[in-house]
Amino acid sequence: MAPRSVKTSRGGKGVAERREVKEEQLRAYELMLVISPEVIAEKLDLVLDNLRQLITGSGGVVSGVEQWGSRKLAYPVKGFVEGNYVLFQIQLKPTQSREIEAKLHISEDVIRHLLMKQDS
């Protein structure tokens, strides 16, 4: 993808300059996962480590992981009434976010996920 240009003004003088917005810049995201309750604790750590490697392997950064534990779901999802919640604080390239969502979508261990871009 070609970089896109954005007009900005500097110093209140009304002079517009073009600056390049690079697609390679890392953006802050929150990734909420609901992992199947059938995943035992040892395998849960393995699933989370694999996700960390996926993120960092392609240039992303994991800045925090919070395991919220097992909680009841508001409605059954894929036949489950509860799941293990995990919140990741990450930084990714915009193109990398699509790749990660695709891998999470086909994962058997992840029953739901939500990747949200944080405001800058």
pLDDT at 21: 44
Whole-prediction pTM: 0.76
Helix (H, G, I), strand (E, B) or coil at 68: strand
Asked whether residue 58 carries a pLDDT value surpassing 50, the answer given is yes
What is the pLDDT at residue 35? 96
Q: Give the domain ranges of the chain.
A: 25-117
Would you say how long the chain is, in residues? 120
Q: Could you count the other beta carbons within 10 Å of the beta carbon of residue 18?
A: 9
Residues 113, 14: Cα–Cα separation, whole Å: 44
pLDDT digit string (tens) for 64-76? 999 999 999 999 9
CATH topology of domain 25-117: Alpha-Beta Plaits (3.30.70)
Model confidence at 87, pLDDT cuts 50, 70, 90, reads very high
